[in-house]
A and B are shown apart, each in its own frame.
Chain A
Amino acid sequence: MTSEQKRAFIEGFKEMSRFGVTILTWGFVTGIAMAKSSLTVHQALTMSLLVYAGSSQLAALPLITVGLPIWMILITSFMVNLRFVIFSLGLQAHFSYLPMWRRILLGYMTADFSYFFYIKRYPTPQSTSERHADKDHVRLYWLIGMQFSNWALWQVGSIAGIFLASQIPNSWGLEFAGAIALLAIIIPMLDRAAARWAALAATVVAVATYGLPFRLNIVLAIVAALIVGMVTDRTPRWVAP
């Protein structure tokens, strides 16, 4: 890493770490759920370290317990991950220039939070000339710094959850603490009317369609929010030539 890259990495690492409590809590909740499922401690640790996708892990646990075939669980994982397919479209515009293995690694490491903060800071991709001027790939290293922090915090929370699960009574309602912690990331994003309308649409649709399989309510909520967001957005999109 050049010194510029190191600076960007550390800045990204710090940015994500500000939300440490939220990420730790989500990891912790996932870890507890794995420990209380039919997985052994070793299996739970392996799953946490390799799969690194909280919602698809949570969706898979009951299916593992009832002994569904592997391919059905994998299809479920993919369906639960559909929102990441949408996010990868956003990342592609920014990082299509990287070699294949780096693109795949970058995608694998980009969970909800890191994509969320990246696209907030850099809404539009660099033009070819801007990218050539930016020799240090500052954006990339800022994202990698965030990803690193996101991964480490989530794993610490998840592994702590696996080992402490037996000490935590169900009656505490700890999953709910995970939900509350998410507010700290969402509420600051509601700074514009269009964002608030989009969030309201997502809320209504996500709750109303909660009965659908494969967490499809998330995908439908995204579609609804995109439509409502575009319609209510008052910033001019097309500047007259």
Chain B
Amino acid sequence: MQIDLNIYLLIIGMAWVTAWSRSFFLILGEHVKVPDWALEAIRFAPLAAMVAILAPEIFLPASASSVAQFNLRLPNIWGGVAAIIAFYLTRKMLITLIVGMGVFTAARFWL
């Protein structure tokens, strides 16, 4: 029971953290004018964030804890590269998923 309540407290706390971090500078409102150079500088931030989420999923094993676990026999690398090529050529999500998962699964059997 005690543990149960703690989990719900934690969930509310995490929702609060989401709201707080995502509106961190928004909360300041018109008190602060964000300088143009800062806006200029963060142009590539959203692209970089998504790449940073994706890249380790392709180049490291699922349960990896560090870059030391990189090796060319990982099926994700081959599946990922195949998916990138498939998307470049076709721009079709379904084909990309089938090719990527197909090569990934095949590589898991043979490598």
Contact = CB atoms under 8 A, between A and B. Distances in A.
A187 interface: yes
B44 to A, nearest CB: 4
A183 interface: yes
Say what secondary structure dominates the interface of chain A.
helix
A238 to B, nearest CB: 10
B76 A176 contact: yes
B49 A92 contact: no
A47 B41 CA distance: 34
Interface in B69-111: 70, 76, 79-80, 83-84, 87-88, 93-94, 96-97, 100-101, 104-105, 108
A83 interface: yes
Interface of B: 6-15, 17-30, 32, 34, 38-60, 62, 64-68, 70, 76, 79-80, 83-84, 87-88, 93-94, 96-97, 100-101, 104-105, 108
Given A70-B13, A217-B56, A229-B44, A93 B21 contact: no
A186 B51 contact: yes
A47 B29 contact: no
20 contacts: A46-B8, A50-B14, A70-B10, A88-B25, A104-B27, A107-B22, A107-B23, A115-B46, A123-B43, A175-B57, A176-B62, A186-B54, A187-B84, A203-B51, A207-B59, A211-B65, A221-B51, A222-B44, A222-B45, A225-B45
